Amino acid sequence: MGNVCSISVPCDAITSRCLDCTARKATYISQLEDNVVALQTAMQNLIEARNDVMRRVTVAEQQQMIRLNQVQLWLSRVQQMETTVGDLIINDSSQETDKLCFGGFCSKDCKSSYKFGKKVSKMIKDVTTLMAEGANFQEVAERVPEAAVDELPHEPMLVGLESTLDTVWRCLAQEDQVGIIGLYGMGGVGKTTLLTQINNKFVDTPNDFDIVIWVVVSKDLQLEKIQENIAQRIGLCNESWKNKSLQEKAGDIFKILSKKKFVLLLDDIWERVDLTKIGVPLATPKNIASKVVFTTRFVDICGLMESNRKFKVKCLTDGEAWKLFQNKVGEETLNSHPDILELAKSVAQECGGLPLALITIGRAMAYKKTPEEWNYAIQVLKRSASDFPGMGKEVYPLLKFSYDSLSDDRIRSCLLYCSLFSEDHYILESCLIDCWIGEGIFDENDYNQVQNKGYYIIGVLLHACLLEEGGGSNYVKMHDVIRDMALWITCEIEKENVLIQAGAGLTEAPKIGKWVGVTRVSLMDNEIEDLLEFSTCSHLTTLFLQSNSLRTINSYFFQFMPSLKVLNLSSNYCLNEFPPGISKLVSLQYLNLSMTGIRELPIELKALVNLKCLNLEEMSCLCTIPRQLISSFSMLQVLRMVSYYSSEDYSAQDNVLFGGHEFLVEELLCLKYINVLTITLKSSDALGRFLSSRKLRRCTKSLSLQEFSDSKSLNVLSLAGMKHLHSLHLTSPYLEELKIGGAQEVQSIRETHGFRSLHTFRVNFCGKLRDLTWLVFAQNLKFLFVANCLLMEEIISAREIGQVPEMMGNLNPFGKLEFLQLKDLQHLKSIYCNALPFLRLKDITVLRCRNLKKLPLDSNSTKERKIVIKGEEGWWKELQWEDEATQNAFLPCFKSHSSS
């Protein structure tokens, strides 16, 4: 019938499997109540573990970290599990446990209880698994990757800063050899604005820097604070790092930055920041492309920081300042009345191009729409700028930081003293130092030490951007806003009682009642004609009356000023008679009568026993100085009496100006403390006696040689021993020759570096001189003026040099010359036989020199520097050039000058 297949399964095995399955199912039911409790306990433990992880996440996120994805996923699963378990326990557990019977070992609905028990058991396993996963989280968050640069909030770019920004950016982007860049300038000029623009330019401009770091340093230097700012940018600033030492932090910063191409921007540095102590890698072949840019008010800081390049952030030009001021005031106000536009320009002018002042005043005037309000603003700014809204609270306190940072009270006093001079006045450095000496600001007795200290202080104030260079290398000026700040400090902070109306347009002196109790008075640069009133001014120490129209001074005017130390009457050309009351000023230490019309000095001046500085320069009418007067000034340290214009002949023999000034030289020899002298001599005898004194040679700064009717020649090399001679003037119709001497004399001059201080030489009306060949020794000459020398054929004679070949050697004639002026030299044919490099030349003026057909220039002269050549059109057209390249190079330099 067919095959039959049979399978044999042992009955006991089947029975065993069935019993196991039944037992497990029975367990879901019999242990249901215990499992529900276990699930609740496990879930509670998981929630606590979740809360612990979440606390760690919160702390990390407060430190600008971001939670890990796996942690976020785990937290989401725990949340979901919490919901599921909660629903299960609340909705089903009591219902299912009510079905249990026989002590919980059986159920009234076994199928339902079995399914519920199985679900509870699985949830216990899932919760346990989540607990294990959460326990393995060593890190719950990671630091957010830093952007290469954080954009900083900023105002629109200030006009005038664009070119500086472009220049600095080229250094950053293109000049790898430039590692450290310094930006310096006075407070409120826009340094921080410029640095902010540099920072933000990295946001929009493609570059290959890994990170840009901005740090505000400020006056209170704290290296730890700088480290903290850097650490936050490079991901180091956690709790454990904060507990490390300065050196350990520096090591951590160094490890990270040495592997990056970075830019570190340090704003507002007041002293040297030691980058090594911070951990900033210095320039090496490995990180030369990294950059450090800083701002400071002091140019000295650029040197202390070893900057490769430095840029001065200057005040705005008039045009730039007006644009900024217009922007702050607004067109609505400027157009609200026909007169306001011109008045607004006057107000802007008072700000001196300082952006902070322009912005502050511009905002204050934004809704002033009547001419009266603008006129009042001008009056306030001229009279007392500190009363103008915002100046005393915003502008001056910011600038005062620079004043406060000066190292001692003496330097601060010197700065405040500068505010006595008029706005925009160019202050001769030597005059300023003389005033400081007269005021008693210096307590040293050695004038050389005092003078050096004075120039040092001027340097400090220049480098702090509290003074500016102006009007040549020997002059300084005070910015208008700095001057206003200095007056504010003097009156409001120091509570000094001063009367300063310099350049105020006065035709009469202030009523004498205003003088009572004042310590300093400055009425310079006015139109005051008479000083008739007088009063007791017992505290007055300084009186500036220079540059007025003084004619008459009451004889009692000075009688009640017992404390007066400094008196300046210079540039009162109409003052012909000496004010007799000056002889009563027994405390006087500084007296300036230069450029007045005074004809005689009275012998009564002997009473000025404390006089230290006396200035009689350019007193062209002065014809009498009594014998024994100059020598009576036993404390005199500075005597200035050089004059470039000869006055009348003096016949009275009781006058030190008699003859060639031989008597004057004898009196000068009696001055024990003389350290600065400028003088005019009129004979070879006087010069010989003068040069025989080592003291007089040493202290002479300026010398004018005139007349010399007793000699036809002058051994000019005899002047080479005057090591501090800055200026030399020569006027004589008798001199025919300036002797140089032979090879031995020349060698001596070269070895002793003769004329090394000489920077100015003027020769005028020397009708018989033919050359000035000796000038090859004046290697530092800056200014050369030659006029009215009818027979002069050459400035430097090739024939003279040929006679003494040793003369030239490696000398470079006119290597430092800046200004050359030639006038009325009818026979002049040559300045020098060969082309000269003229490394510093700025200006050549040639007038009425018709035979000068060629200038010592070639295509390499003044290379890459623009000079100005002034002269008549006809002379310029006939000028001969070395070659076409030279002609093309200098054609744009010509500026026509009238020959009249």
DSSP 487-527: HHIIIIIS---EEE-TTS--SSPPPGGGGTT-SEEE--SS-
Indicate the residue among 268, 296, 312 that finishes a domain.
312
Q: Which residues of 840-851 are buried (b: 16+ CB within 10 A; e: fewer)?
A: ebebbbbbbbee
Same domain, 134 and 59: yes
**Percent helix / strand / coil, the chain, rounded to 5:** 40, 15, 45
pLDDT, mean of residues 516-539: 93
Is position 512 within any domain? no
Identify the pLDDT of residue 445: 65
Same domain, 412 and 433: yes
Same domain, 26 and 132: yes
pLDDT, mean of residues 677-699: 95
Strand partners, 266: 215, 294
Indicate the residue among 386, 406, 429 that finishes a domain.
386
pLDDT(647) > 90: no
125 vs 22, 69, 129, 549, CA distance in Å? 21, 24, 6, 108
pLDDT(267) > 90: yes
pLDDT, mean of residues 588-600: 96
pLDDT, mean of residues 554-581: 94
Q: Tell me the C-alpha distance between 789 and 736, whole Å.
A: 11
* Residue that the structure tokens 């026993």 belong to: 609
Q: What range defines the domain where residue 181 resides?
A: 162-312
pLDDT(21) > 60: no
Q: Tell me the C-alpha distance between 211 and 147, whole Å.
A: 7
Same domain, 243 and 327: no
Which tokens belong to 220?
């209170």
6: Cβ contacts below 8 Å, ≥ 6 apart:
none
The helix/strand/coil state of 566 is: strand
pLDDT, mean of residues 864-885: 91
Identify the pLDDT of residue 573: 94
pLDDT(868) > 80: yes
Identify the pLDDT of residue 691: 96
- Averaged pLDDT of the chain: 87
828: Cβ contacts below 8 Å, ≥ 6 apart:
789, 792, 793, 794, 795, 822, 849, 851, 852
CA-CA-CA-CA dihedral for 50, 54, 56, 57, to nearest 10: 140
Identify the pLDDT of residue 40: 80
Same domain, 361 and 431: no
Closest of 716, 703, 726, 720 to residue 769, by C-alpha: 716
pLDDT(9) > 60: no
Identify the pLDDT of residue 185: 93
pLDDT(114) > 80: no
Is position 69 within any domain? yes
Identify the pLDDT of residue 32: 64
Identify the pLDDT of residue 392: 86
Identify the pLDDT of residue 545: 97
Is position 448 within any domain? yes
pLDDT(155) > 80: no
Identify the pLDDT of residue 83: 84
pLDDT, mean of residues 573-579: 94
Q: What does the longest C-alpha to C-alpha distance in the chain come to?
A: 177
Is position 514 within any domain? no
Is position 240 within any domain? yes
* CB-based contact 211:148 (threshold 8 Å): yes
Is position 263 within any domain? yes
The DSSP secondary-structure symbol of 787 reads E
Closest of 474, 483, 411, 471 to residue 441, by C-alpha: 411
The model's confidence at residue 7, banded by pLDDT at 50, 70 and 90, is very low
> How confident is the model over 703-754, as pLDDT tens digits?
999 999 999 999 998 999 899 999 999 999 999 999 887 777 777 777 777 8
> How confident is the model over 368-420, as pLDDT tens digits?
999 999 999 988 888 888 888 888 888 889 889 899 989 899 999 999 999 99
Selected residue with higher pLDDT from 139 and 322: 322
Same domain, 170 and 297: yes
> What Rg do the C-alpha atoms of the chain give, in angstroms?
44
The model's confidence at residue 612, banded by pLDDT at 50, 70 and 90, is very high
Same domain, 307 and 326: no
Indicate the residue among 273, 289, 312 that finishes a domain.
312
Is position 845 within any domain? no
Q: Tell me the C-alpha distance between 873 and 786, whole Å.
A: 21
Selected residue with higher pLDDT from 424 and 591: 591
Lowest mean pLDDT among 35-39, 190-194, 427-431, 795-799: 35-39
pLDDT, mean of residues 667-694: 95
pLDDT, mean of residues 570-580: 94
> How confident is the model over 749-800, as pLDDT tens digits?
777 778 999 999 999 999 999 999 999 989 999 999 999 999 999 999 888 7
The model's confidence at residue 2, banded by pLDDT at 50, 70 and 90, is very low
CATH number at residue 376: 1.10.8
pLDDT, mean of residues 149-159: 77
* Residue that the structure tokens 């010592």 belong to: 856
Same domain, 288 and 358: no
Same domain, 166 and 303: yes
Same domain, 204 and 136: no
pLDDT, mean of residues 206-228: 89
pLDDT, mean of residues 182-203: 92
Identify the pLDDT of residue 629: 96
Based on the structure, what is the number of domains in the chain?
4
Same domain, 378 and 407: no
Same domain, 166 and 308: yes
pLDDT, mean of residues 851-878: 90
Is position 726 within any domain? no
The model's confidence at residue 151, banded by pLDDT at 50, 70 and 90, is confident
Q: Which residues of 712-727 are buried (b: 16+ CB within 10 A; e: fewer)?
A: eebbbbbbbbbebbbb
The DSSP secondary-structure symbol of 393 reads I
Give Cα 619 to chain centroid, integer Å: 38
CATH number at residue 448: 1.10.10.10
pLDDT(588) > 60: yes
